[in-house]
Amino acid sequence: MLTIAVSKGRIYEEALPFLENAGISPVDDPKKSRKLILATTREDVQLVIIRATDVPTFVEYGAADMGIAGKDVLLEHGAESLYEPLDLGIATCRLMTAAHKDEPLPKRRIRVATKYVKTAQRYFAEQGIQAEIIKLYGSMELAPLVGLADCIVDLVDTGNTLRANNLEPRELIMNISSRLVVNKAAMKIKHQAICELLQQFEQTLTRRRAAS
């Protein structure tokens, strides 16, 4: 049995063509079912439906053999203990800094609100900027508006939420997409089954690139 960890929402929806090409479709609709472990149309594959931020943890500790997670989550988790064989090129966005429109950042030590604490610390250290990182779990755009932070680090897709709150994207930290990750022990123990899935995922990726 192969267990693949994936989160509901955009990543799952955009991963469907990869899963379906490998003959993997959940027996129960994850949008409607309350089950967290879903049987699939392949008897040797099951899906576990978890929070996006938990995917690398489940894979690292062997609760799942494989997983699909955004590069932002992998960076924050520290994915050195995982194999990352494929960039699926799905659920794309940008990890950026953002601040008040047309207002320069102060010269003093800046305050940065984000849920990507480790990534933000690395980025500002590399830029030689002294930054106090404030961890938030949501409503990031609110932090500069109420004076909690000078800027934020967050994912940007259309930028509509930033503009609605008189904020603007500033520096690009990284382009983000979802990656396939594999548990290292599983790669050895279930090598053939995992490699077959990887090959099928690669075929789907090749077709998508050719069509674009």
Q: What is the mean pLDDT of residues 23-39?
A: 88
79, pLDDT greater than 80: no
> Domain ranges in the chain?
2-91+177-211, 93-174
203, pLDDT greater than 80: yes
> What values do phi and psi take at 26, rounded to 5?
-65, 140
The reply to whether 2-91+177-211 and 93-174 are identical in fold is yes
What is the C-alpha separation between 180 and 186, in angstroms, rounded? 14
**Predicted confidence band at 208 (pLDDT cuts at 50, 70, 90)?**
confident
Handedness of CA 82, 199, 63, 185 (dihedral sign): negative
- Express each pLDDT in 91-109 by its tens digit: 999 999 999 998 888 888 9
Give domain 93-174's CATH architecture.
3-Layer(aba) Sandwich (3.40)
**Predicted confidence band at 76 (pLDDT cuts at 50, 70, 90)?**
very high
Give the pLDDT of residue 133: 98
Domain topology for 2-91+177-211:
D-Maltodextrin-Binding Protein; domain 2 (3.40.190)
- Express each pLDDT in 163-192 by its tens digit: 999 999 999 999 999 999 999 999 999 999
- Global confidence as pTM: 0.90
- One DSSP character per residue, 139-174 reads -TTHHHHTTS-SEEEEEESS-HHHHHTTEEEEEEEE
Q: Express as a percent the part of the chain with pLDDT over 90.
A: 80
